[in-house]
Amino acid sequence: MRTRPLKVALLGCGVVGSEVARIMTTHADDLAARIGAPVELAGVAVRRTGKAREGIDPALVTTDATALVKRGDIDVVVEVIGGIEPARTLITTAFEHGASVVSANKALLAQDGAALHAAAEANGRDLYYEAAVAGAIPLIRPLRESLAGDKVNRVLGIVNGTTNFILDKMDSTGAGYQEALDEATALGYAEADPTADVEGFDAAAKAAILAGIAFHTRVRLDDVYREGMTEVTAADFRSAKEMGCTIKLLAICERSKDGTSVTARVHPAMIPLSHPLASVRGAYNAVFVESDAAGQLMFYGPGAGGSPTASAVLGDLVAVCRNRLNGATGPGESAYADLTVSPMGDVVTRYHISLDVADKPGVLAQVATVFAEHGVSIDTVRQQGKDGEASLVVVTHRASDASLSGTVEALRKLDTVRGVASIMRVEGE
């Protein structure tokens, strides 16, 4: 074993960063044995000094992150500060000064992953980011390495624990959205401002990363269709149960049947109770991968939190340090396929549409005619009426998002249609 330690700079010392530092200290001997050399925490960049940080030598703490990554003796920079800037500049500066980088920054990787990979390659350094998607669940490395010889066709997953907790609570207790969100906040699963989670921004960033790796194509955050879950109601769950389904906020990345394009999207969807993702409860994450040779694979576990995310960071740190000792680098960006990223309008799926209609003869015929005129085939219809008003639930066969949008627009113009109560996609057949 080499006695000279590999030096690590830690950018950020919050929930994840402090746990990374703790594990590096408490598991130092094991990490050294696995890597082939000791690792040393050489500096910790924070926003403000003066705060006691258990287990971290105050002499290592600095507010000058730029100076830390420029030192030249740093072997690996661990970035867990999040956001776009200054993280982007710090990472590229680290590469330029000879350090490899381990990051948990999903937003930055989804937006500028190609540029970061290019900077790493130009400087002969590694960029690893297992912790950016689904916390402790090994997912990036299996897609990037274990399935490198296979053809991945679909990645379907629950990649945000906050939203899954809320939807699971609504499903199991009949609670409304706000009630379930309040409980998630009280238990610490939801941030004070939950927008990034409940509006799907967090999941969309992860979908962009997963799609890029799975399909060897550059997929940016702007390419991902995003729809939040704030409009999901208890009534939607009742309808789902009548169909033998539940509702999840899904990240879905798919290769087209002809293999020339891909799509990436995040939205609530009904999935059959028989699907493996339907049983994912609480704040857990799970990702279902479908490929030609391996078939169907499912990855499951805690998707967030200090310890699970730190576990993924440390796994990357071990891999990067091994590469450093061997004078090698691991897999970089693979975008050779360069497939077209299709818009949401091209996506084909089933739909569950709930309409408020007048309770009188001929309404169903009018609605069915509109669906037929737009080329959308109906699978089932259920109608309930009382006191001159009725609800009409239509479940379609597979149709494109564009054709369904045209159908709904035409339905709104019918005098007998009082309103469109909800529209939800049905996935996981």
From start to end of 260-377, where are the E strands?
Answer: 261-272, 284-291, 295-302, 340-341, 348-358
Quickly count: other Cβ atoms within 10 Å of residue 94's Cβ: 30
Q: Is 59 helix (H, G, I), strand (E, B) or coil?
A: helix
Query: What angle, rounded to 10 degrees, do the helices at 161-173 and 234-242 form?
Result: 70
* Contact (Cβ atoms closer than 8 angstroms) between residue 213 and residue 144: yes
> Torsions phi, psi of 419, nearest 5?
175, 160
* Contact (Cβ atoms closer than 8 angstroms) between residue 320 and residue 128: yes
248 is catalytic: no
Q: 289: which 2 tokens? A: 């991968």
Out of 7, 106, 169, 206, which one is annotated catalytic? 206
- 392's CB contacts (< 8 A; 6+ apart) are 354, 355, 356, 357, 363, 364, 367, 381, 382, 383
Q: How far is CA 204 from CA 14, 41, 85, 198, in A?
A: 24, 33, 19, 11
Active-site amino acid positions:
206
